[in-house]
Chain A
Amino acid sequence: MKRKIAAILVMLLLVISIPSLVLADDAGDEPEEEPENDSQAPDDETPESGDSAEETEESEEVDDDATEKEIQIMPYPYGAEIRLLQLQKALLRNILKAQMIIGVLQDMEFNTSELEGILVQMNELLDEVQAADPAANDSVQVFVALKYEAINLTKQYRETLHALVDDATLQQLRNQIRNATSDALRDYSSMIRERIRHFNRNQLHRLYGFIGTVNNSLIDEYFNGTISLGQVKLKLSAMVNQMTQEEKHSFFSELREDNIRRQIYARATMSDMPPRGIGKGQGKP
């Protein structure tokens, strides 16, 4: 009889302890870490074979990724204007460098007619970008087409130049054009900086909408240049950290949702664009 009791006791203890162990084991399980996936690196890296088609494809992917990120802000006030001004500035910088290069090569008695032809096209493209309307419904599509045209002309110029001169001359040219600048470029920089400040101020207002309060003094301090954007972000972060878990989650979710919505918009817009290389951009024969 005692043995029976003992046996029952042992069985029941086992029955009780096994689920406890199982539950404890589940609680101790850590999620498997996914291997880091470097999205920038190509999946199958070929050895350095100098395959220009692959290099072109890779650089086009980089351009597409960068462009997709750039167009995210364009639906917002000042967004389209900022991007078009940045494109103008980038084009102007390259045009200045192209002019300097041609000047140096002419002094060295090189035949620069092909380079000059490309330079003419770049100037025409700059006119087109300056004429683009940031408020137009198709401003995003126009921006993307013009940007890709600018990239193509820059690449064309570069390849023509490489075919014309040797490496030593190229290095000499690099040193000479390194700090190419002008008053026009400086003007562009201040215009762009001013519009970015407006843009960021609007974004701050939107953020405070997510939080449910407003701090006009912080917004004004940033807009006046009293504090930097980095300091604004730290103050916002500190403010959010003082919220309750629930408020913090709510704010963070809204913020993430907003960012994801912009990414989806940009991805959809890019996928609707015609493939690169077709046509020569807006209005070009």
Chain B
Amino acid sequence: MNKKIISLAALLLILGSLVVGYIFLNQQATEQKQYYSDDSVNEEDILQELDDIFLSEDDEIEIGEMI
């Protein structure tokens, strides 16, 4: 009887470890995906950076108004 209990407990421990391990690995993979998807470069990000590298053709310097 004791052996049965011990075997059952060991089996459950193994299963539990597998479940926890699976969840942990899954979360890491999700974080990696999130890293790419949260930091994923969308069109807005690119356009914003391109705005900084180029100069608009009607760009002007302001030195104030005379009145």
A contact residues vs B (CB 8 Å cutoff):
1, 4-5, 8-9, 12-13, 15-16, 19-20, 23-24, 26-27, 66, 70, 73, 82-83, 86-87, 89-91, 94, 97-98, 101, 147, 150-151, 154-155, 157-158, 161, 170, 173-174, 177, 193, 196-197, 199-200, 203, 206-207, 229, 232-234, 236-238, 240-241, 245, 248-249, 252, 255-256, 258-259, 262
Contact = CB atoms under 8 A, between A and B. Distances in A.
A177 B66 contact: yes
Contacts of A97: 66-67
A143 B32 CA distance: 47
A157 B9 CA distance: 90
* B19, B27, B53 interface centre (most CB from chain A within 10 Å): B53
Contact of A233 (B1, B50, B62): B50
A259 B57 contact: no
Contacts of B56: 196, 229
Contacts of B51: 233
Main secondary structure on B side of the interface with A:
helix
Given A23-B23, A245-B36, 4 more contacts: A23-B27, A94-B63, A196-B56, A200-B54
Contacts of A5: 4-5, 8
Main secondary structure on A side of the interface with B:
helix
Contact of A252 (B49, B54, B55): B49
A23 B60 CA distance: 54
A196 B54 CA distance: 9
Contact of B63 (A20, A147, A229): A147
B9 A161 contact: no
Given A8-B5, A27-B27, A173-B67, A237 B15 contact: no
Contacts of B46: 236-237, 240-241, 252, 255
Contacts of B63: 87, 90-91, 94, 147, 150-151, 154
A3 to B, nearest CB: 11
Contacts of A248: 40-41
A252 B39 CA distance: 11
Given A12-B16, A27-B30, A245-B36, A196 B59 contact: yes
Contact of B15 (A16, A155, A241, A249): A16
Query: Which 5 pairs show the lowest CB-CB distances between chains A and B?
Result: A16-B16, A154-B64, A86-B61, A12-B12, A97-B66
A98 to B, nearest CB: 6
B67 A196 contact: no
Contact of A12 (B9, B27, B54, B67): B9
